[in-house]
Amino acid sequence: MCGGNVIVERGWAIAVHGGAGVDPELPPERQEQAKQVLRRCLQLGSSALRAGGAAIDTDPTFNSGRGSALTSKGTVEMEASIMDGPRRRCGAVSGLTTVKNPISLARLVMDRSPHSYLAFDGAEEFAREQGVEVVENDYFITEENVGMLKLAKEANTILFDYRVPLAETCSKAAAAAAAEDGGGLQMMNGLPLSVYAQETVGCVVVDSQGRCAAATSTGGLMNKKSGRIGDSPIIGAGTYACGACAVSCTGEGEAILRGTLARDVAALMEYKGLSLQEAVDFVIKERLDEGMAGLIAVSGTGDVAYGFNCTGMFRGCASSDGFLDVGIWN
């Protein structure tokens, strides 16, 4: 590299995830289907990056909206956030019921409003002002998830009742009940994995100029209380990007929130000088206690990393040196 005012072109890298906490019994066709979607997303993102696109613009088309987890009322409430590393600008939305592409609205909050986070009716109103595509709420509802909701409600009736104060965390209580129930039932977020709708999606990118960006989008938790906000729209929890890295998380929202997972990866790099992989490993190992989660991350110097402490995480990574990999399990 010559000196002077040269912009050092580094390699770009991209990682995507389709949710952590995968049913070990997931049929092979479903696994293959998921891997194809991940591959396609990576290819879309990679093309944009190869063409010199900026990290913040590189967002492979997700359709996390349709098939979203349902609230206890049987409706869909979506949330998302996006963060642009270079100046740490951010945008987030919660409680969306008609916006077809939540992450795009989050971006508009970042780019076209004086705020960082808009929710519920106010966010829906902003969506209309901005002219984004809207649909009826039942567009997002699938037969499969209606079935899942029913199962989740049945599971919750056995495991815990929201009106009863919990002496321990929900994961613990549910695991204890499941253990009594005959053991071996894998739990996450208080639900058996078999009903767990792992459709949070996320993407992190570093472009050839070292600019990082992160985005996360979700329908949230199956059978959640209407109004429940998880980690996906929370800057520092589910999403974070700065000069050093970009991170997107998935899994038990409450664990990710209290662990400020995404920010902690960056803080370890920034304040303790850890590498991206070291920071990711530390956070997964030390910041989750009994919580289950996973994350993907890229660094400003072109590294890509991921980690998870649960049964699996749908993910894929690609980088400018030709590397491309998708996976589910360890």
Partner 1 sequence: MGWAIALHGGAGDIPLSLPPERREPREAGLRHCLDIGVAALKAGRPILDVVELVVRELENWPYFNAGRGSVLTTDGTVEMEACIMDGATMDCGAVSGLTTVVNPISLARVVMEKTPHIYLGFEGAEAFAKEQGLETADPSHFITPENVERLKQAKEAKAVQVDYTEPSNAEIENGGPLMESSGGTVGCVAADGLGGLAAATSTGGLVNKMAGRIGDTPVIGAGTYANSFCAVSATGIGEAIIRGTVARDVAAVMEFRGLSLKEAAAFVVERGPKRTTGLVAVSADGEVAMPYNTIGMFRACATQDGYSEVSIWN
* Residue that is written with structure tokens 């997303």 in the block: 41
The piece of 39-47, 51-59, 156-164, 197-205 that touches partner 1 (CB under 8 A) is 156-164
DSSP-based three-state secondary structure for 134: strand
Which DSSP state fits 87? T
**Binding track, positions 106-135, relative to partner 1; x by CB under 8 A:** ----x-xxxxxxxxxxxxxxx---------
Which residues, other chains included, contact 217 with Cβ-Cβ below 8 Å and sequence gap of 6+?
A: 62, 64, 65, 78, 79, 80, 102, 103, 106, 200, 201, 202, 232
Measured between alpha carbons, how far is 139 from 197 in angstroms, rounded to an integer?
17
Q: How far is the CB of 221 from partner 1 (least distance, A)?
A: 8
Using alpha carbons, select from 310, 322, 75, 275 the residue that is nearest to residue 198.
310
Q: How far is the CB of 91 from partner 1 (least distance, A)?
A: 8
Catalytic residue among 200, 216, 218, 311: 200
Q: Which of 21, 60, 102, 236 binds partner 1 (CB under 8 A)?
A: 236
Measured between alpha carbons, how far is 73 from 161 in angstroms, rounded to an integer?
16
200 among known catalytic residues: yes
Measured between alpha carbons, how far is 185 from 146 in angstroms, rounded to an integer?
22
Q: Which of 17, 100, 107, 263 binds partner 1 (CB under 8 A)?
A: 263
Which backbone phi and psi does 48 adopt, to 5 degrees? -60, -40
Confirm or deny that 220 is annotated as ligand binding: no
Residue count at the site for partner 1 (CB under 8 A)?
A: 56
If the CB atoms of residues 262 and 318 are measured against partner 1, the closer one turns out to be 262
Confirm or deny that 84 is annotated as ligand binding: no
Q: How far is the CB of 58 from partner 1 (least distance, A)?
A: 21
If the CB atoms of residues 118 and 212 are measured against partner 1, the closer one turns out to be 118
- Does the protein bind partner 1 through residue 163 (CB under 8 A)? yes
Confirm or deny that 25 is annotated as ligand binding: no
If the CB atoms of residues 295 and 328 are measured against partner 1, the closer one turns out to be 295
Query: Which tokens sit at 235?
Result: 């800057």
Which residues, other chains included, contact 294 with Cβ-Cβ below 8 Å and sequence gap of 6+?
A: 17, 20, 21, 249, 250, 251, 284, 306, 307, 308, 309, 310, 313, 315
Confirm or deny that 7 is annotated as ligand binding: no
- Does the protein bind partner 1 through residue 290 (CB under 8 A)? no
Confirm or deny that 231 is annotated as ligand binding: yes
**Binding track, positions 168-197, relative to partner 1; x by CB under 8 A:** -xx------------------xx-------
DSSP-based three-state secondary structure for 213: strand
Which DSSP state fits 266? H
Burial of 129 (0-12, 13-18, 19+ CB in 10 A): exposed
CA 25 vs. chain centroid, Å, equals 22
- Does the protein bind partner 1 through residue 76 (CB under 8 A)? no
Residues that bind partner 1 (CB under 8 A): 87-90, 92, 94-95, 110, 112-126, 160, 162-163, 165-166, 169-170, 189-190, 224-230, 234-237, 240, 253-254, 257-260, 263-264, 267-268, 271-272
- Name the binding residues: 228-231, 250-253
Q: Which active-site residues does the annotation give?
A: 200
